[in-house]
């Protein structure tokens, strides 16, 4: 019997999730369908409930509905609770379970594909919106020596760090803090990659051998161009994170983790 999944968002036509999950299903010989569903804030809940009534097993949730999905979940994983955002819904006999796989997608991309162990690293996380919130706990759990969050609106970065500062080495503030030390990993979790707005973090940010990680994907962003200008050797966009979060959703639903690399290569080849 075919199991049914979908991604819900607005807009949704550009989503790569149907392609990714179809590739996972082929790779593992699973019988499933995966659709893209458009909703509005007014229709979000109805569309989800109709999908469940039609026998749907699970759903990915993308912008702008990650908070609506949080509110709809009867039960939350620890990482969804920490992120206060849900990107994966599982429809179980006990009800709707919300999870957030973005952080695992990022951490696995950095450690497994790029080959940089986060334990002991100095990490700079730029941004304090939904994406930063989603990845913060998994990043801290990977054991960095120090994680600094900087944001255009520093109070949002401080609010994020305050949640974890008693348990993990995390600090926060405005962009001016970033220039005061070197980092092994700099992650751009702002939306500047979508708008081409410049991101002025200053020079001398990167330690030798450092990684510049842009969460948005599909093109050279100002953050990536600036990293090139500063001679950073390892620069990547967030496509590996996208495939990684999808793989973790697939694992939650189907109990087996797909191989990310061939699917990532397929996407890069267009
Ligand atoms: P949000 O709108 O929630 O947050 C936007 C963030 O960007 C805020 O920190 C905001 O700062 C900052 N920002 C916006 N404009 C500027 C600017 N001109 N200069 C400096 N900072 C700015 O967006 P998300 O967190 O949801 O998404 C962020 C990025 O992450 C997007 O590019 C998205 O595509 C990507 N993403 C990638 C994923 C993947 O799988 N690869 C998954 C999820 C997201 P302030 O608080 O001051 O407004």
Q: CA-to-CA distance for 109 and 242, rounded, in angstroms?
A: 9
Residue 17 is predicted with a pLDDT of 98
Ligand 1 neighbour 193 (Cβ under 6 A): yes
- Residue 24: pLDDT band (50, 70, 90) is very high
Coil/strand/helix, residue 35: strand
Task: Tell me the average pLDDT across 216-223.
Answer: 93
Portions of the chain given CATH number 3.40.50.10860: 3-100+241-268
Q: CA-to-CA distance for 160 and 172, rounded, in angstroms?
A: 8
pLDDT digits (tens, 9 = 90+) for 38-57: 999 999 999 999 999 999 99
For 202, half-sphere exposure in the C-beta direction (CA atoms, 13 angstrom radius) is: 14
Which amino acid residue places its CA nearest to atom 33 of ligand 1? 216
Q: Atom of ligand 1 at shortest distance to CA of 194? A: 32
Ligand 1 neighbour 194 (Cβ under 6 A): yes
Which amino acid residue places its CA nearest to atom 8 of ligand 1? 129
pLDDT digits (tens, 9 = 90+) for 116-149: 999 999 999 999 998 999 999 999 999 999 999 9
pLDDT digits (tens, 9 = 90+) for 80-125: 999 999 999 999 999 999 999 999 999 999 999 999 999 999 999 9
Residue 270 is predicted with a pLDDT of 80
Ligand 1 neighbour 151 (Cβ under 6 A): yes
Q: Atom of ligand 1 at shortest distance to CA of 131? A: 25
* Of the candidates 196, 189, 185, the residue with the CA atom closest to the CA atom of residue 221: 196
Residue 202 is predicted with a pLDDT of 87
- Enumerate the active-site residues: 66
> The tokens 């790569």 sit on which residue?
16
Residue 206 is predicted with a pLDDT of 96
Which amino acid residue places its CA nearest to atom 17 of ligand 1? 192
Find how far residue 152's CA is from the centre of its chain.
Answer: 20
> The tokens 């659709």 sit on which residue?
35
pLDDT digits (tens, 9 = 90+) for 249-264: 999 999 999 999 999 9
CATH number, domain 3-100+241-268: 3.40.50.10860
Ligand 1 neighbour 159 (Cβ under 6 A): no
Q: Atom of ligand 1 at shortest distance to CA of 66? A: 26
pLDDT digits (tens, 9 = 90+) for 155-172: 999 999 999 999 999 999
Ligand 1 neighbour 188 (Cβ under 6 A): no
Ligand 1 neighbour 127 (Cβ under 6 A): yes
CATH class of the domain comprising 103-237: alpha beta
Residue 105 is predicted with a pLDDT of 98
Q: Which alpha helices (H) appear in 124-238, and where do they start and end?
A: 130-141, 154-162, 192-195, 222-229
Q: Residue 17 in contact with residue 240, Cβ under 8 Å?
A: no
Percent of the chain with pLDDT over 70: 100
Residue 36 is predicted with a pLDDT of 98
Which amino acid residue places its CA nearest to atom 2 of ligand 1? 129
Portions of the chain given CATH number 3.40.50.720: 103-237
Q: Check whether 265 has a pLDDT greater than 90.
A: yes
């Amino acid at each position: 019997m075919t199991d049914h999944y979908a991604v819900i968002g607005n807009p949704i036509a550009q989503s790569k999730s149907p392609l990714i999950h179809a590739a996972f299903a082929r790779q593992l010989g699973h019988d499933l369908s995966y659709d893209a569903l458009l909703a509005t804030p007014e229709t979000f809940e109805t569309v989800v409930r109709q999908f469940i009534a039609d026998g749907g097993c699970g759903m990915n949730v993308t912008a702008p509905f990650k908070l609506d999905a949080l509110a709809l979940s009867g039960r939350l994983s620890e990482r969804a609770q920490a992120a206060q955002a849900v990107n994966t819904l599982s429809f179980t006999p006990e009800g709707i379970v919300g999870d957030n796989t973005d952080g695992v997608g990022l951490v696995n991309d950095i450690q497994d594909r790029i080959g940089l162990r986060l334990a002991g690293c100095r990490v700079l996380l730029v941004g304090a919106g939904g994406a930063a919130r989603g990845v913060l706990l998994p990043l801290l759990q990977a054991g960095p020596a120090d994680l600094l969050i900087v944001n255009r609106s520093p109070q949002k970065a401080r609010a994020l760090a305050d949640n974890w500062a008693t348990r993990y080495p995390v600090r926060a503030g405005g962009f001016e803090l970033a220039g005061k030390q070197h980092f092994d990993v700099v992650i751009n979790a702002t939306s500047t990659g979508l708008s081409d707005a410049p991101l002025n973090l200053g020079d001398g940010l990167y330690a030798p051998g450092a990684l510049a990680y842009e969460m948005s994907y599909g093109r050279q962003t100002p953050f990536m161009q600036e990293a090139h200008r500063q001679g950073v050797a390892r620069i990547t966009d967030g496509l590996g994170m996208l495939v990684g979060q999808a793989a973790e959703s697939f694992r939650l639903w189907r109990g087996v983790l797909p191989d990310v690399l061939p699917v990532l290569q397929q996407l890069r080849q267009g």
